[in-house]
Amino acid sequence: MEQDFSLDDLHEHYSFAADAGQEPLRVDKFLMNRVENATRNKIQQAATAGSVFVNDRAVKSNYKVKGGDVVRVLLAHPPHEQLLVPEEMSLDIVYEDDALLVLNKPAGLVVHPGHGNYTGTLINGLIYHFEKLPKNSNNRPGLVHRIDKDTSGLLVVAKTDAAMAHLAQQFHDKTSIREYLALVWGDVKDDTGTIDGFLGRDPKNRLLMTVFPDGDQGKAAITHYEVAERFGYVTLVKCVLETGRTHQIRAHMKHIGHTLFNDARYGGDKILKGTTFTKYKQFVDNCFKQLPRQALHARTLGFVHPKTGKKMFFECPLPDDFAGAIDKWQAYAQHKQLDNS
């Protein structure tokens, strides 16, 4: 049974309004589909602690959300934006001047605080090294753009308000250059191609992005790709972003039938192409162990310097985990070709 609860000392962390057509759904399942990195156990613990509210009343985890309900998660501590503290962290800076810096983010490092990641993020490291970073439109210090936790590669960080505004405008106007390397399941048919599909939250799983071909939902998203190397059951592709939507490459490549290798969230951590032979299964499992994340690397970044007007271009090599997986697939493809000759 719901109880009235004093909200005076609590801070809102998440708020969601259920669609008018929402079928009755347990609040813990409702929130799992909307809060990134939230497990059902964590949500149930929050409900037990009296931190989950529907229409400003504390509810238990078995409450059934209905159309029009406003679901909020309130906690005793302020949102992460107010909890940012400097943390000593080693940063792989490939370029720096008084206006900006470009760094190579390792896989596994969260870019900014979010549910379950209030500390240990790139932003915590940035504010340790740089005391006065400008805030972006989401109140995040220095960030012009972001890449996923388990994606490696290049990021540009603004050090002044002028640099932030100028760089953000370039990303908005699609004049920046961003090229990724992705290892995907399957033998990509065409050597080059363009994926033009509106991206939005999957209505069945809010942690996933999905393509809406009719454009009736989501935001416009365009990815250009080019095959770099073929290994039979997987393909290495270069992806150039014309837009920068959440999970854009991951969702777009799955949409055309080529899910990223070992992308657990989108189903790429299973054998999607290949044989049923035990040795092949062992080989793929070894590749998963070699590259325990989605096979995506932000290799190239280009933009116009906001202060000098000079065109800047950066490229960083594949990290060891990704390069090691490529080596394994190259060797496998060569042996397979010899066996068939």
**pLDDT score for 51:** 84
Cα 48 from chain centroid (whole Å): 30
Domain coordinates in residue numbering, the chain: 11-77, 84-172, 179-303+321-340
Report, as ranges of residue numbers, the positions in the chain whose pLDDT lies below 70: 1-13, 36-38, 75-83, 114-117, 337-341
**pLDDT score for 8:** 41
Known catalytic residue: 148? Answer: yes
Cα 100 from chain centroid (whole Å): 23
Architecture of domain 11-77: Roll (3.10)
Q: What is the pLDDT of residues 131-186, one digit of tens each?
A: 889 988 777 899 999 999 999 999 999 999 999 999 999 999 999 999 999 999 99
What does CATH list as the number for 179-303+321-340?
Answer: 3.30.2350.10
Is-contact 210 266, C-beta < 8 A? no
What does CATH list as the number for 84-172?
Answer: 3.30.2350.10
Comparing C-alpha atoms, which of 194, 183, 116 is closest to residue 151? 183
Same fold across 84-172 and 179-303+321-340: yes
**pLDDT score for 301:** 98
Q: What is the pLDDT of residues 261-285, one digit of tens each?
A: 999 999 999 999 999 999 999 999 9
- Which is the catalytic residue, given 28, 69, 148, 321? 148
State the Cα–Cα distance between residues 191 and 199, nearest whole angstrom. 24
**pLDDT score for 340:** 61
